[in-house]
Structure 1
Amino acid sequence: MRPDLHATRLALLTNASDARTEMAHSLASAAAPACAHAFTRLLSEEAAREAVAARPSQPLGGLAFSVKDLFDVAGQPTPAGSVVLAHSPAARADAVAVARLRAAGGALLGRTNMTEFAFSGVGINPHHGTPANVCDPATPRIPGGSSSGAAISVASGAAFVGLGSDTGGSIRIPAALNGIVGFKSTARLVPTQGALPLSTTLDTVCAMTRSVRDAVTAHEILAARRVTPGAAPLAAYRLAVSRSLFQDGLDPVVAKAFERSLGRLATAGARIEEIDLPALADLPAINATGGFSPAEGYAWHRLLLERSGAGYDPRVARRILQGATMKAYEYLDLVRARHEWIGRMERALSPFDAVLSPTVPVTAPPIAEVAPGEARDDAFFRLNALLLRNPSVVNMLDGCAISLPCQAADELPVGLMLWHAALHDDAVLAVARQVERAL
């Protein structure tokens, strides 16, 4: 894998490399077979100009970042992985997140492919093709979604930061399946202005990188805040492992990697306690009327569906239309139930610095098993629910989480998720730095 942002910036600052050379590497990676279908629009000339114009002393120093197709970029339409918005009016200004990355010296490499309208954790796109996971050149495997192209852009070496969004795991799922780092911050810390919404309650603007230290840098840029560094050793943190839900139905590779990771952390001095989180059992009842994403998604899409519904991915339209039946009192009941549930979860997690879980319970299956087609719809929706199960808990919690690769060299990528409630971002990142070293 190409060196991370920090190592490359050091090379720039010591004149061991320069932004023009690094951008040439990024553009070559973006054009390579490993990045097929990862970009919906490559901005080669613009990126080269921005790279040269940046200062090496800036946080991104002229290095490449990619942007998920649901973010506004001035002068371009914002299709969000669809065809029905392909000819929508061009954005007048960059999304706040895009503007902040550019202001930090980032060079915008291009717009990345995604699940249409961000409504799936699998990463399939029938309009623009599905980018294959980088982990297995012999068998095209799902990239994870919805930030599929963003993950491939980072894992392939094209981009140092892949800007995306996370509503139920859309950063952490592809990060886990491609063996990179994905950090979902507390949602309120990063503005969503200029990002096409899925769920205004759950949407989080965040990014994927190749290391935890790069995740800290990306978060500091996106949130316009400084992360309080944690200098304590791993033994200083109190970590929890949930007995319920998160470890249900793990495939053998994930189970082995998770247990091995816990063992290595314990050997490194980590204090790990198994706990019960009985509030998790209440989530199906709380979301029984469909949850936030279908209802809030339908509110945004209903007129567009009436005009252009035939142009939607049928699987995406099916999920959005589920929101049409939610009644106003059911939505208000959902808001109240979530608030009460968050309070119970926060009290249960308060003694701990972070919780450890598998990010997703499976490794990436072949694309062929869930490719578009009615015969595979059941398999697709089963896989989608399974991929979303663990990470979506954190979105419902209004929390923060990071996924780190924890597989052995001969295994498919597996993600280890560290998570906690809202505004514990700095603690989670501090623990993640120590966990990354130990693994």
Structure 2
Amino acid sequence: MNDLHATRLNLLAGGTDACTEMEHAIGIAQSPACSHVFTRTLFDEARRQVARSVPQSRLAGLAFTAKDLFDIEGQPTPAGSVVLSHAPAAKADAVSVARLRAAGGVLTGRTNMTEFAFSGVGVNPHHGTPANASDAATPRIPGGSSSGAAVSVATGAAFIGLGSDTGGSIRIPAALNGIVGFKSTARLVPTEGALPLSTTLDTVCAMTRSVRDAVTAHEILAARRVTAGAAALGAYRLAVVKNVFFDGIEPAVARAFDNALQTLRDAGARIEEIQLPELAELQAINATGGFSAAESYAWHRLLLERSGAGYDPRVAQRILKGATMKAHEYIDLLHARQAWIARVEAALSPFDAVLSPTVPITAPAIASVAPGAERDDEFFRINALLLRNPSIINMLDGCALSLPCQAVGELPVGLMLWHASLHDDAVLAVALQAERALQKQ
């Protein structure tokens, strides 16, 4: 399946045209592979827009999708819920949507998500759950919370899936669907027009089919140019953190990760194994509930009082945990985080990027975590496993990219390349080289 970069070059060479590419994307979007992917489609509007598109623009009239928590002018912003389905229409596009449109992208629809973005599993009891694109035989979870956005990219219904990442909501579904997900440093992309989960941790970012497309999407969303040199892998000093990230890892994930490291070493990468004892501090730092619970409760408390019965019970349960946090506990959390970030940044300063499994498991069957109280224990166990690794980078205020690293024919496994804040260009540079090496194996 071609990525955006290759398709755009084909457009400029006259090998295809934007209308043909749009019809192809819409055809996939309407197929069974995209069942439950969209909460609202914009196909007729997309056809009108693509007819006026400019091939020389950065996105050349190609399709992108937007997670259901982004404002689109003239539409309500339900965020995967039913309690906001009749909310007032947005008066303008979210900044991120507007930037993708201005770059020549054509929006084909709003994508399904975990209600209010509060889970890494991707299950939605209101709109159904889109099946992972990697396994036609067994419906598997897509990962969340940007579930529909991931499947839209993985199936070929879109070249860019706009989403958000608060604890892994871009990287988890990217890893489980075998695509690329880049979480930038949060402050680089405006969040205006995106319904919040945690104002401290939320990051607006995207999923794509390749690292070079991730660079393009980030440059558009952040309105900046990435400086990613063409140095070989051997020019970078890389680390693997051995504690926490590998706890509870599935054999298939461990095998894929180890094989990926060997491939990178064979390509010249210098990789050192290190311990990061600061990770053991996170449980105590977040003991009073963490940012997501407190900040989501502040936003949802009145809506819960009015319409709590309409919430996904699992989501409501997590939001309500924020009701007990005291003001001094929240302020202590802010200070503890800043001190922890400083210690971790110092420990990682000798390295250009860190390598870890994005998540320690492959995608389980939807049936094992489908809505129902009898499956709640398994749902929350899986959710905790999925969120554990990527959420560390959100707590660090860092940047990270998930890159597929499984062998052909195996369920997708994500290799996460990451670092502290504002190391985005270095992470992307290493990821470009790592992707080239892994594609040759």
- TM value normalised by structure 1: 0.99
Residue 129 of structure 2 corresponds to residue 130 of structure 1: yes
Q: How does 1:157-172 map to 2 (within 5 A)?
A: 157-172=156-171
Measure the CA separation in 2 of the matches of 1:227 and 1:413: 28
In structure 2, the residue corresponding to 1:239 is in which secondary structure?
strand
Indicate the residue corresponding to 1:369 in structure 2.
Answer: 368
Task: Spell out, residue by residue over 1:11-39, the C-alpha distance to the aligned partner (whole angstroms, 9 max, x if none).
Answer: 11011110000000000010011100000
Do 1:50 and 1:106's aligned partners in 2 also have CA atoms closer than 8 Å?
Answer: no
Letter in 2 for 1:302: R
Indicate the residue corresponding to 2:410 in structure 1.
Answer: 411
Indicate the residue corresponding to 2:385 in structure 1.
Answer: 386
Q: How does 1:39-58 map to 2 (within 5 A)?
A: 39-58=38-57
Indicate the residue corresponding to 2:396 in structure 1.
Answer: 397
Indicate the residue corresponding to 1:111 in structure 2.
Answer: 110
Following TM superposition, the consecutive aligned residue runs of length 4 or more in structure 1 with deviations greater than 6 angstroms are: none
Measure the CA separation in 2 of the matches of 1:239 and 1:207: 24
Indicate the residue corresponding to 2:276 in structure 1.
Answer: 277
Measure the CA separation in 1 of the matches of 2:226 and 2:263: 27
Give the superposition deviation at 1:414.
0.2
Measure the CA separation in 2 of the matches of 1:60 and 1:51: 11
Task: Spell out, residue by residue over 1:167-212, the C-alpha distance to the aligned partner (whole angstroms, 9 max, x if none).
Answer: 0000000000000000000000000000000000000000000000
Give the superposition deviation at 1:213.
0.2
With 184-193 and 41-50 compared, the bigger mean Cα shift is at 41-50
Give the superposition deviation at 1:229.
2.3
With 246-255 and 124-133 compared, the bigger mean Cα shift is at 246-255
Residue 381 of structure 2 corresponds to residue 348 of structure 1: no
Indicate the residue corresponding to 2:253 in structure 1.
Answer: 254
Letter in 1 for 2:353: A
In structure 2, the residue corresponding to 1:411 is in which secondary structure?
coil
Do 1:185 and 1:206's aligned partners in 2 also have CA atoms closer than 8 Å?
Answer: yes
Letter in 2 for 1:153: S
Measure the CA separation in 1 of the matches of 2:423 and 2:50: 34
Task: Spell out, residue by residue over 1:250-294, the C-alpha distance to the aligned partner (whole angstroms, 9 max, x if none).
Answer: 101100000000001111100000011010000000000010000
Task: Spell out, residue by residue over 1:362-384, the C-alpha distance to the aligned partner (whole angstroms, 9 max, x if none).
Answer: 00000000000000000000100
Indicate the residue corresponding to 1:324 in structure 2.
Answer: 323
Residue 436 of structure 2 corresponds to residue 429 of structure 1: no
In structure 1, the residue corresponding to 2:51 is in which secondary structure?
helix
Do 1:71 and 1:98's aligned partners in 2 also have CA atoms closer than 8 Å?
Answer: yes
Task: Spell out, residue by residue over 1:304-337, the C-alpha distance to the aligned partner (whole angstroms, 9 max, x if none).
Answer: 0000000000000000000000000000000000
Measure the CA separation in 2 of the matches of 1:51 and 1:118: 30
Measure the CA separation in 1 of the matches of 2:199 and 2:93: 19
Give the superposition deviation at 1:247.
1.1
Letter in 2 for 1:72: D
Measure the CA separation in 2 of the matches of 1:380 and 1:351: 38
Measure the CA separation in 1 of the matches of 2:189 and 2:219: 10
Give the superposition deviation at 1:82.
0.1
Measure the CA separation in 2 of the matches of 1:256 and 1:292: 34
Measure the CA separation in 2 of the matches of 1:429 and 1:50: 31
Give the superposition deviation at 1:54.
1.4
Indicate the residue corresponding to 1:147 in structure 2.
Answer: 146
In structure 2, the residue corresponding to 1:158 is in which secondary structure?
coil
Measure the CA separation in 1 of the matches of 2:229 and 2:397: 23
With 290-299 and 245-254 compared, the bigger mean Cα shift is at 245-254
Measure the CA separation in 2 of the matches of 1:296 and 1:249: 29
Indicate the residue corresponding to 2:91 in structure 1.
Answer: 92
Measure the CA separation in 2 of the matches of 1:48 and 1:322: 45
Residue 332 of structure 2 corresponds to residue 306 of structure 1: no
Do 1:250 and 1:362's aligned partners in 2 also have CA atoms closer than 8 Å?
Answer: yes
Indicate the residue corresponding to 2:207 in structure 1.
Answer: 208
Task: Spell out, residue by residue over 1:149-168, the C-alpha distance to the aligned partner (whole angstroms, 9 max, x if none).
Answer: 00000000000000000000
In structure 2, the residue corresponding to 1:53 is in which secondary structure?
coil
In structure 1, the residue corresponding to 2:162 is in which secondary structure?
strand
Indicate the residue corresponding to 1:59 in structure 2.
Answer: 58
Measure the CA separation in 2 of the matches of 1:353 and 1:336: 27
Indicate the residue corresponding to 1:37 in structure 2.
Answer: 36
Do 1:143 and 1:152's aligned partners in 2 also have CA atoms closer than 8 Å?
Answer: yes
Do 1:358 and 1:415's aligned partners in 2 also have CA atoms closer than 8 Å?
Answer: yes
Aligned length: 438
Letter in 2 for 1:180: I
Indicate the residue corresponding to 1:175 in structure 2.
Answer: 174
Letter in 1 for 2:388: R
Residue 75 of structure 2 corresponds to residue 76 of structure 1: yes
Give the superposition deviation at 1:65.
0.2
Do 1:23 and 1:48's aligned partners in 2 also have CA atoms closer than 8 Å?
Answer: yes
In structure 1, the residue corresponding to 2:109 is in which secondary structure?
strand
Measure the CA separation in 1 of the matches of 2:384 and 2:57: 41
Task: Spell out, residue by residue over 1:89-117, the C-alpha distance to the aligned partner (whole angstroms, 9 max, x if none).
Answer: 00000000000000000000100000000
Measure the CA separation in 1 of the matches of 2:395 and 2:229: 27
Give the superposition deviation at 1:52.
1.7
Letter in 2 for 1:329: H
Indicate the residue corresponding to 1:187 in structure 2.
Answer: 186
Letter in 1 for 2:295: E
Task: Spell out, residue by residue over 1:329-373, the C-alpha distance to the aligned partner (whole angstroms, 9 max, x if none).
Answer: 000000000000000000000000000000000000000000000
Measure the CA separation in 2 of the matches of 1:201 and 1:5: 32
Measure the CA separation in 1 of the matches of 2:167 and 2:352: 22
Indicate the residue corresponding to 1:291 in structure 2.
Answer: 290
